[in-house]
Amino acid sequence: MIKTNAYAALSATSALQPFELERRSPRSDDVLIEIAYCGICHSDIHTARGEWGPTLYPFVPGHEIVGRVLAVGKKVKRFKMGDLVGVGCFVDSCGKCPSCKSHEEQFCLDHTVFTYNSVELDGKTPTYGGYSTHITVRDKYVLKIKKGLPLERIAPLLCAGITTYSPLKRYGTKKGKKVGVIGLGGLGHMAVKIARAMGAEVTVFSTSAEKEPDAKKLGAKKFVLTTNPENFSSHRGKLDLIIDTVSANHDLSPYLGTLKIAGLHVLVGVPPKPSEVEAMDLIYGRKHLAGSLIGGIKETQEMLDFCARKKVFADIELISATGINEAYERTIKGQVKYRFVIDAKTFLP
Ligand code: NAP
Ligand code: ZN
Ligand code: ZN
């Protein structure tokens, strides 16, 4: 077993604090990773605070993990010591069901083992996330990262990157398409960068007036301050696709109005309470409302390679472990610019 220093929440109301755990020694098909950086996703916060139903405590968050291979099991051929690697939102799945066979392990019909707040395929061993110094993962669920790139800015691609890349790619984002991004946070700023890199024109919808210059710098052509309903009027019927990253409950109606006929509004943000939809907002203009969950391993690798080629990386604030609780508060207030990333060395006492 490998002694690992981490940060954990012990209950829905407690701050994150130092915690020790043990990672398994590599099995024949495992990779032992020394974590270098881990991003802070809003899902970490929702889960730490029990906003999505029961959380298993102690809870170690973190599913935007990058690091170096320390050791591999004897059957592992894809990785060797020293390789740069990434781990995203899940670390195992059945590998046999139709979802796994079609490279959508996040929808495993049997059991997707999520990186945290989940149990291993044995049905009992809890999983602990990347706010820690080491992690052991089955090789098939480990991603390759190219050398010579800013590693700390790649960590957020493992969740924020793939969650936005997947629907952008699936629904045909390219030159000539108009994409709206709602919420300029971790996912939102990646959606802007990736949609631009795919060639689309981007409109950002935000509640924060002061983010307008950043939105433009990130590649958006237009910025709509959503706190004033009148600001939507000149944008009616304009967009092909919307990526909705908002983490809090919000009225979908004004956004559906900005879609072209048969336009598509994709929910990736997960507000704590159900949303209401006015049937007429979909019926009039034959609009579509959809959801999307991260992406499979194959697509995540494709996204990492795309971002490396296009030099698309997250804009981050690098923090140490002691700054996690303050980073949570700032993220909830929408004050993140645009992803907090933790330096994993600072989990050591
Ligand atoms: P984040 O960095 O906190 O960004 C969310 C943004 O939403 C904020 O920056 C803010 O942008 C906007 N917002 C926040 N509160 C709002 C409110 N009350 N009304 C309107 N807008 C508000 O969060 P994130 O890490 O990007 O995650 C976003 C959501 O996606 C979370 O719910 C997370 O759990 C979920 N998620 C889903 C998947 C998936 O696979 N589907 C994967 C990862 C995360 P402005 O200041 O611009 O308004
Ligand atoms: Zn996430
Ligand atoms: Zn499966």
Per-residue tokens: 178: 């108009």
Start-end ranges of CATH 3.40.50.720 in the chain? Answer: 161-291
Q: What is the mean pLDDT of residues 247-253?
A: 95
Summarised one tens digit per residue, pLDDT across range 128-155 is: 999 999 999 999 999 999 999 999 999 9
Establish whether residue 91 lines the binding site of ligand 1, counting it when its CB lies within 6 angstroms of any ligand atom: no
Structure tokens at 205: 């919808």
- pLDDT for residue 341 is more than 90: yes
pLDDT band for position 26 (50/70/90)?
A: very high
Average the pLDDT over 309-330 and give the result. Answer: 98
Going by alpha carbons, the residue nearest to atom 9 of ligand 1 is 185
What's the pLDDT score for residue 102? 98
CATH code: domain 2-159+313-346 is 3.90.180.10
pLDDT tops 90 at residue 349: yes
> Which atom of ligand 1 sits closest to the CA of residue 246?
7
* Phi, psi angles (nearest 5°) of residue 191: -60, -40
Q: How far is CA 45 from the centre of its chain?
A: 12
Assess contact for 301 and 162: CB atoms under 8 A: no
Phi-psi region of 191 (alpha: psi -120 to 50; beta: other; left: phi over 0): alpha
pLDDT at 272: 85
Q: Which CATH superfamily is domain 161-291 in?
A: NAD(P)-binding Rossmann-like Domain (3.40.50.720)
Taking every pair of Cα atoms in the chain, the longest distance, rounded to a whole number of angstroms, is 63
Q: Which residues, by Cβ under 5 Å, contact ligand 2, an ion?
A: 41, 43, 159
Distance 72 CA to ligand 1 centre (A): 36
> How far, in Å, are 121, 186, 314 from residue 124 at the CA level?
8, 32, 35
Residues of the chain with CATH 3.90.180.10: 2-159+313-346
Q: Residue 260 has what pLDDT?
A: 98
| Cα angle 348-335-213, degrees, rounded to a multiple of 5 | 125
Q: Which ligand is in closest contact with the Cα of 113?
A: 3
Q: Which residues of 98-120 are buried (b: 16+ CB within 10 A; e: fewer)?
A: ebbeeebbbebeeebbbbbbbee
The model's pTM is 0.98
Q: Is the pLDDT of residue 171 over 90?
A: yes
Instruction: Give the length of the chain.
Output: 349
Cα–ligand 3 centroid distance for 122 (angstroms): 14
